[in-house]
Structure 1
Amino acid sequence: MKKGLLVLCLSFSVFAQSNKAVSLIDGMQKKYKAMGSFSANFTYQTEGAATMSGSITVKGTKFRLKTAGQEIFNNGKEVATYIKEINEVNISSFDPSEGDLNPAKIYSFDKKAYKISLKGVSAGVSTVELAPVAKGTQVKSIALKISNADLTVSEWTIINKAGKKQHFKVAKLNPKANADDKFFSFDKKAFPGVEVNDLR
């Protein structure tokens, strides 16, 4: 009887934590969606490599992401990846159903695609773990750190199937970026001599 009661109590505890985690994700996504457009500076590090810096501006499904050596423009219809070292850009059609979790999707991913659980709370920050439901993905888990006070994401860690970690940390958030739609489209006039590879 006591064993059965213990199992029941544990089940309720897990259920409550799961609901709390989903509630945090819901609140976080609503917050960023309400911003309209926002930008952020961040640092990122792949396990075993040096820490790098980057920046991102997001507006709905559109985003512009700048990291070391490359810049990605997504205007909601096509994706242009510019590689600075060789002055080359690859342009492909945008597929919103793709499962990759880039820094833009951290704020707008499909909750149904992940098992969501609360892993801990420390100093007013909750750690929420996302585990992909679909098999065959390259990602094993994503751990998001979300402020309980204002529901902003401060950092996240992505672990792939091989166990390798990639860590991102937000350095500065601008909730009022007011970015024009043109900002998210690649303009070859701004990159003299660029070689364009149209993969659409």
Structure 2
Amino acid sequence: MKKIVFALSLIFGLLSTTASQAQSAKDVLDKCAATVSSRDGVKADFTMSSAQYGNASGQIAVKGKMFHATTSMATMWFNGKTLWTYMSKNEEVNVSNPSEAQLQVLNPYNFINMYKNGFSYTMTKTDKAYNVHLTAKDQSKRVKEMFITVDKATYHPTEVKLLQKQKWTTFTISNLKTAKLSDSEFRFNSKDFPSAEVIDLR
């Protein structure tokens, strides 16, 4: 009988610890998301390293679900529904309506629209950062795992790492600043690219 009671108490203790850790990790992500979710918008520098998509670096502006990213190879505008991707090499603009999983690879801040549902959490800490590990409860999801590093002092995300189709993509983020951004910044304007060929993939 004592063995059973001990085993049950051990199980309940482990469950309580796991639940507490998950709640703590979610609290960190909630605060992190709040720093990115400025009503006026934020801007930052980023680098991307991906076995599937290659490497890139540039700047990104984010306002709610909208973003505008610029790299040496491409410029992207997303207004919350439609994505315009301008390829400078061939002067083409591809127009599409991407899924949340597809947006995750394009926008390092898209985790703020994903983490609240369908993921379990664990977290470790260093002197300067929280390291949150998210695992999809449904492993058929396109994004199966994410690691998000959050600065302890500012709650700014400094690294987002995600697993899709057994391949990792890593974003390193720096110089995050709030900015007053117009909604027009997140829409492609054909007047700015008069020679571009528009290809509608919707």
Q: TM-score range by the shorter chain?
A: 0.7 to 0.9
Which residue pairs with 2:77 in the alignment? 73
What's the offset of the Cα at 1:38?
0.4
Asked if 1:85 is matched to 2:83, the reply is no
Asked if 1:125 is matched to 2:129, the reply is yes
What's the offset of the Cα at 1:147?
2.1
Aligned partners of 2:33, 2:176: CA distance in 1, in Å? 15
Preserved contact between residue 145 and residue 162 of structure 2 (Cα < 8 Å): yes
What's the offset of the Cα at 1:155?
0.6
- Count of aligned pairs between the two proteins: 195
Aligned partners of 1:86, 1:71: CA distance in 2, in Å? 13
Q: Which runs of structure 2 are paired with 1:113-152 in the superposition (5 Å)?
A: 113-115=118-120, 117-152=121-156
CA separation of 1:98/1:167 partners in 2, compared to 1, >3 Å: closer, same or farther?
closer
Q: TM-score, normalised by structure 1?
A: 0.86
Aligned partners of 1:32, 1:165: CA distance in 2, in Å? 23
What's the offset of the Cα at 1:9?
1.5
Q: TM-score, normalised by structure 2?
A: 0.85
Asked if 1:172 is matched to 2:175, the reply is yes
Aligned partners of 1:111, 1:49: CA distance in 2, in Å? 26
Preserved contact between residue 81 and residue 89 of structure 1 (Cα < 8 Å): yes
CA RMSD across the alignment: 2.3
Unaligned runs of 5+ in 1: none
Between the two proteins, what is the percent identity of the paired residues? 27
Which residue pairs with 2:61 in the alignment? 57
Segment drifting more, 186-195 vs 127-136: 127-136
What's the offset of the Cα at 1:110?
5.1
Tell me the amino acid that sits aligned with residue 112 of structure 1.
Answer: N
CA separation of 1:190/1:47 partners in 2, compared to 1, >3 Å: closer, same or farther?
same
